[in-house]
Amino acid sequence: MTSIDVQALTKEYGTRRAVDALTFRVLPGRVTGFLGPNGAGKSTTMRLVLGLDRPTSGTATIGGRPYATFREPLRHVGALLDAQAAHGSRTARNHLRALAASNRLPLTRVDEVLEETGLTSVANRRVTTYSLGMRQRLGIAAALLGDPEVVLLDEPSNGLDPEGIVWIRGLLRRLAGQGRTVLVSSHLMNETASFADHLVVLGRGRLLADTPMREFIHARVKPRVRIRTTDATALRNVLTAHGHDAVQHEDGHWTVPDARVDDIGHLASAAGVPILELAAEEATLEQAYLDLTATQTEFTAQPQEV
Ligand SMILES: Nc1ncnc2c1ncn2[C@@H]1O[C@H](COP(=O)(O)OP(=O)(O)OP(=O)(O)O)[C@@H](O)[C@H]1O
């Protein structure tokens, strides 16, 4: 079992503490979303896990070993940190071939990962001609080259078109389904909600949450009911009579906070209120995340003084 273990990890740059006594574990067989406001320490943590930077104190290990101790790291850990890292004047195929050769990986893997990332038809083009989305795909191809058990991707959806976004969602689910350990940072909440099983959330270098995604959302966002009627007065009366503070929106629909669809449905039906639409409003990861990180954002706009 290959987990990523971060233990009391701290990284200071001068007097700035980018990562602060962080402890968490990323387990195999699921996609862990790595979230946090700008400057929260996500990239720094990933760099420390990959041995690209030295911790001030604490440890980060993969399968119990520091990254630096792997003789052939690409066979164990695949990472996408910076999509611009590929050498521009090479073709994508040659870039991957060089990487495979220098890591003693079979060259057959090159065509496999090109296929997997949808780059086969453009594999002989120079990377300089690639769009950001194509470079992302190439970075992911490089990360998968060694068929690693552990995959770390920093903002992999960056620059991808809608089709690319759907593709990466499927890829991440597949990698986790194969039992790999997958850690993915992102700023896109809807995206993260679509692929993550588990979340690790940072704020100012500290751990704010380490929890299954469903629990993360439900612990923070109360259920709401969406309802539409042809008789607004009757609806308002019945809801008010039962202590519900409903809000009417411009397009005519209502939301009833902290309510369950069954209860509101029964109330409306018993009062003879005509219903056009009645639905539970899904609590979103974005709502839950903003609630948690509201006080943790390094670069929030400050209220202007008048
Ligand atoms: N090489 C460095 N030298 C000095 N400070 C750094 C360095 N790398 C990161 N930092 C600082 O460490 C903090 C954490 O940055 P980091 O890039 O890890 O955050 P992040 O969560 O990845 O942010 P983003 O979401 O914007 O990518 C920031 O305050 C950043 O300015």
pLDDT in tens, 33-86: 999 999 999 999 999 999 999 999 999 999 999 999 998 899 999 999 976 666
Please state the atom number of ligand 1 nearest to the C-alpha of residue 14. Answer: 4
Residue 146 within any structural domain of the chain = yes
Same domain, 232 and 169: no
Same domain, 150 and 270: no
Same domain, 179 and 227: no
Its domain, for residue 249, covers 222-282
Q: Residue 7 pLDDT more than 80?
A: yes
Tell me the pLDDT band of 112, cut-offs 50, 70 and 90: very high
Same domain, 33 and 95: yes
Same domain, 273 and 229: yes
Distance between Cα 150 and ligand 1 center (Å):
23
Which residue, among 216, 220, 178, 221, has the nearest Cα to 197 in the 3D structure?
Answer: 216
Which pLDDT score, from 0 to 100, does residue 166 have? 93
Q: Which residue's CA is the closest to the ligand 1 atom numbered 11?
A: 18
| Range 24-38 average pLDDT | 96
Share of the chain above pLDDT 90, in %: 76
User: Number of structural domains, the chain?
Assistant: 2
Distance between Cα 164 and ligand 1 center (Å):
27
Same domain, 207 and 226: no
Among 211, 232, 250, the domain-final residue is: 211
pLDDT in tens, 247-274: 999 999 999 998 989 999 999 999 999 9
**What's the full length of the chain, in residues?**
306
Distance between Cα 13 and ligand 1 center (Å):
9
Residue 288 within any structural domain of the chain = no
Residue 272 within any structural domain of the chain = yes
Which pLDDT score, from 0 to 100, does residue 244 have? 94
Residue 302 within any structural domain of the chain = no
pLDDT in tens, 179-227: 999 999 998 888 999 999 999 999 999 999 999 999 998 888 888 999 9
Residue 289 within any structural domain of the chain = no
| Range 114-140 average pLDDT | 93
Residue 303 within any structural domain of the chain = no
Which pLDDT score, from 0 to 100, does residue 291 have? 84
Which pLDDT score, from 0 to 100, does residue 232 have? 93
| 93/107 Cα distance (integer angstroms) | 10
CATH code assigned at 184:
3.40.50.300
Same domain, 137 and 250: no
pLDDT in tens, 61-74: 999 999 999 988 99
Same domain, 86 and 159: yes
Among 157, 179, 211, the domain-final residue is: 211
Ligand 1 contacts (CB < 6 A) are: 13, 16, 18, 36, 38-44
Give the range among 86-95, 104-113, 122-131, 136-145 with minimum mean pLDDT. 86-95
Same domain, 122 and 144: yes
Same domain, 43 and 163: yes
Average pLDDT, the chain: 91
Q: Which residue's CA is the closest to the ligand 1 atom numbered 4?
A: 13
| Range 13-32 average pLDDT | 96
| 186/200 Cα distance (integer angstroms) | 11
Which pLDDT score, from 0 to 100, does residue 290 have? 87
Distance between Cα 48 and ligand 1 center (Å):
12
Ligand 1 probe mutation, 10, 11, 42, 80, most atoms within 8 A of CB: 42
Which pLDDT score, from 0 to 100, does residue 305 have? 40
Distance between Cα 45 and ligand 1 center (Å):
9
Distances (CA, A) of 60 to 5, 41, 77, 196: 6, 14, 13, 22
Which pLDDT score, from 0 to 100, does residue 145 have? 97
CATH code assigned at 230:
3.30.70.100
Residue 259 within any structural domain of the chain = yes
Same domain, 259 and 133: no
Which pLDDT score, from 0 to 100, does residue 89 have? 85
Ligand 1 probe mutation, 6, 16, 50, 52, most atoms within 8 A of CB: 16
Residue 39 within any structural domain of the chain = yes
Among 159, 181, 211, the domain-final residue is: 211
Which pLDDT score, from 0 to 100, does residue 298 have? 56
Same domain, 80 and 150: yes
Which pLDDT score, from 0 to 100, does residue 303 have? 47
Tell me the pLDDT band of 304, cut-offs 50, 70 and 90: very low
Which pLDDT score, from 0 to 100, does residue 306 have? 37
